[in-house]
């Protein structure tokens, strides 16, 4: 009987593949069914999972909607070189660098169309994904952030993967059990700017103690951020550290400038479920032609929190009450009712505060101290080896609730380094863990009149997100701004700077609340739209084995599966989760 099942299943898939082969792409030099896994997305999670699967001998196809990025993977957006300086001070270039390799240029990494066309968002569209857009702050959440009430997914389960990812470079942390010491992602602090050191002095004077390690569970005090930057002063992203290793393997293929539109299905009469057999996609050089590629084992979605739901919607997975609406009937064939797809959208919020220098003499000019480019090119040090900032503080205005986690984190961007407003210091006050709000979600585009099938499939989701919707969150940001002002009232910062936005006249709670509501913006830390959950969770999209519920051979490994946003920054969590996802997949085949 088992032999018969195998034969019939193969017969069904073979006939579907054969009937579709005339529209299948062979232009990329790929034959039918040469790959075990197809991974959609080459960002933080896709890079890690691709490498781990390939490391075990599996053949992997990685599909990326964006184009080239870092030099090591064919990027040509060069901004300089690394090389040597001889005894006669003659510089010899040895290898090129792009803006995705040099940390200081992260603020320009999303220009030239290298982001998805989703209004009011900044989601990277390139090989390496948002791991090449971000400011490189490496910071996991506090332990309780991972209390998801999901079997095998809590901080105890995830900590080994945080350690597996990281290689801490700071000399004072080489024996720390809170850090990894053998991972691919290099992590270090870079205490370089005068304003940062002055800010720490003011924090200390205000009663905020110095914290020499922001990774420990007690998020308190001020200190230097740890950044994923290597010993050569270059970005240490998953593209640099995992994806380059993966594509060097003979069984791995990376196709860029190819947007995946849908999952291809066949119905398994024995399981009674639809199962994935491949993907449909369109390339930039043939934008009006749908092509198809197939896999032997699974389709793995790593397209990100805003794109993964769209692929699911296009593929017939989502709220059936929406998918069956007549306006979508020409585009979508519903196959599985999962109302949680697109729900549970979460993000951090930011309010920027601007201060000017009291006088020009108090504004340091780093550029007069040395040749910035030459120092970086030959030594990998100096301003260009940093994101342009180094310090921050956990803001906890309600000191009576000392056992509670910090409400917000404050980051100082020195004006001497070309911050948001040249010649001024910018402070970002970011809410650590906003209140989940059911109005925040992604959904199918409402206006689809006149769209062709390809135009519909490529069209981004509608994002409903209001960071000022919850009064308690606004109140926390108001208190955090007041706390940041209190810190700045102590020397030396009190002698160096003057508030500009909001200025000193904005001081009452009501005035600051108005300022927050008018200036609050979402961060780029989108999570949650295909959340992991137990069988009793009506909004769960994937189970504890990261399999999409109700269908076979589809998993999700990106930030969309996170049930709750962590404190601090996001990428360290996504990296650790991706490592655990890779093990989860491999465990099913060994």
Closest-CA residue to 590 (of 55, 4, 33, 5): 55
Distance CA 257, CA 27 (A): 14
Residue-wise DSSP of 355-421: EEESSGGGS--GGGTS-HHHHHHHHS-SGGGS-S--EEEEE---GGGTTSPPSEEEEEE-GGG--SS
Asked if 95 and 81 count as a contact pair (C-beta separation under 8 A), the reply is yes
Two tokens, residue 117: 């066309």
State phi, psi for 11 to the nearest 5 degrees: -60, -45
**Is residue 369 part of an annotated ligand binding site?**
no
- In sequence order, what are the residues at sequence separation of 6 or more whose Cβ sits closer than 8 angstroms to the Cβ of residue 132? 69, 70, 100, 109, 124, 126, 235, 237, 239
Q: Which of 61, 536, 48 is nearest to 294 (CA)?
A: 61
Is 216 annotated in a binding site? The answer is no
Q: Is 440 annotated as a binding residue?
A: no
Q: What are the Cα distances from residue 20, in Å, to 9, 25, 258, 269, 276?
A: 17, 10, 19, 20, 14
Contacts of 165 (CB under 8 A, 6+ apart): 180, 183, 184, 185, 572, 575, 576, 579
Q: State whether the Cα torsion 311-315-320-322 is positive or negative.
A: positive
The Cα angle at residue 422 between residues 358 and 138, in degrees rounded to 5:
105
Mapped onto helix, strand or coil, the DSSP state of residue 73 is: helix
Other CB atoms within 10 Å distance of the CB of residue 375: 18
Of 325, 302, 314, 332, the closest CA to residue 542 belongs to 302
> Of 383, 382, 375, 387, which is closest to residue 82 (Cα–Cα)?
375
Rounded to whole angstroms, the Cα distance separating 63 from 480 reads 42
d(CA 301, CA 452): 24
Query: How many other CB atoms are found less than 10 A from the CB of residue 51?
Result: 25
The response to whether 1 counts as a known ligand-binding position is no
The rounded radius of gyration (Å) of the Cα atoms in the chain is: 25
| 3-state SS, residue 589 | coil
Give residue for tokens 């004077």.
205
CA–CA dist 63, 303 (Å, integer)? 9
Of the candidates 262, 258, 273, 313, the one whose C-alpha atom is nearest the C-alpha of residue 530 is: 313
The answer to whether the annotation marks 135 as part of a ligand binding site is yes
Element housing 297 (H / E):
strand 286-301
Q: Enter the DSSP assignment of 241.
A: I
Tokens 């040395």 correspond to 370
Q: Which residues are annotated as a binding site?
A: 134-137, 260
Return binding residues for FAD: 134-137, 260
């Amino acid at each position: 009987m088992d032999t018969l099942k195998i034969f019939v299943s193969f017969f069904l898939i073979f006939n579907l593949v054969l009937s579709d082969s005339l529209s299948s792409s062979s232009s990329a030099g790929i034959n039918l069914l040469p790959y075990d896994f197809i991974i959609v997305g080459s960002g933080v999670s896709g890079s890690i999972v691709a490498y781990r699967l390939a490391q075990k001998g599996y053949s992997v196809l990685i599909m990326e909607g964006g184009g080239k990025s870092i030099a090591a993977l064919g990027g040509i957006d060069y901004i300089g070189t690394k090389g040597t300086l001889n005894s006669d001070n003659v510089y010899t270039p040895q290898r090129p660098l792009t803006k995705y390799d040099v940390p200081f240029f992260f603020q320009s990494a999303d220009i030239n169309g290298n982001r998805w066309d989703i209004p009011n968002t900044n989601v990277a569209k390139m090989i390496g994904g948002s791991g090449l857009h971000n400011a490189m702050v490496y910071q996991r959440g506090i332990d309780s952030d991972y209390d998801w009430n999901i079997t095998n997914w809590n901080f105890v389960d995830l900590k080994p993967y945080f350690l597996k990812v990281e290689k801490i470079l700071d000399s004072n942390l080489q024996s720390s059990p809170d850090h990894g010491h053998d991972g691919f992602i290099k992590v270090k602090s870079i205490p370089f700017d005068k304003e940062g050191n002055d800010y720490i002095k003011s924090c200390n004077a205000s009663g905020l103690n110095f914290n020499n390690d922001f990774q420990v569970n007690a998020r308190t005090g001020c200190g230097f951020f740890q950044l994923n930057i290597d010993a050569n002063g270059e970005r240490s992203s998953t593209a640099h550290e995992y994806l380059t290793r993966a594509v060097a393997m003979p069984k791995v293929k990376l196709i860029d400038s190819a947007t995946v539109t849908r999952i291809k299905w066949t119905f398994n009469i024995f399981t009674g479920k639809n199962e994935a057999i491949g993907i449909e996609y369109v390339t930039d050089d043939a934008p009006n032609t749908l092509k198809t590629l197939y896999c032997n084992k699974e389709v793995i979605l790593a397209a990100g929190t805003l794109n993964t739901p769209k692929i699911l919607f296009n593929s017939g997975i989502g709220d059936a009450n929406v998918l069956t609406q007549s306006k979508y009937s020409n585009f979508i064939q519903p196959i599985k009712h999962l109302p949680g797809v697109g729900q549970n959208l979460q993000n951090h919020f930011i309010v920027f505060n601007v201060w000017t220098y009291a006088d020009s003499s108090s504004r340091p000019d780093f550029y007069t101290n040395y040749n910035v480019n030459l120092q970086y090119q030959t030594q990998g040090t100096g301003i260009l080896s940093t994101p342009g900032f180094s310090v921050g503080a956990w803001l906890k205005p309600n000191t009576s609730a000392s056992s509670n986690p910090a409400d917000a984190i404050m980051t100082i961007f020195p004006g001497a380094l070309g911050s948001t407003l040249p010649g001024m210091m910018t402070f970002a006050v970011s809410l650590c863990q906003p209140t989940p709000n059911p109005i925040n979600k992604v959904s199918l585009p409402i206006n689809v009149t006149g769209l062709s099938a390809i135009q519909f499939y490529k069209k981004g989701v509608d994002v409903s997100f209001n960071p000022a919707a919850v009064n308690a969150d606004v109140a926390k940001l108001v208190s955090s701004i007041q706390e940041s002002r209190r810190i700045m009232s102590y020397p030396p910062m009190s002698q160096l700077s003057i508030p500009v936005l909001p200025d000193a006249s904005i001081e009452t709670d009501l005035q600051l609340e108005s300022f927050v509501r008018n200036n609050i913006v979402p961060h780029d830390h989108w999570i949650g739209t295909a959340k992991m959950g137990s069988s009793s969770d009506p909004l769960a999209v994937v189970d504890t084995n990261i399999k999409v519920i109700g269908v076979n051979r589809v998993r999700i490994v990106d930030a969309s599966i996170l049930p709750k946003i962590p404190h601090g920054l996001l990428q360290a969590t996504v990296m650790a989760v991706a490592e655990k996802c890779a093990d989860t997949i491999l465990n099913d085949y060994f």
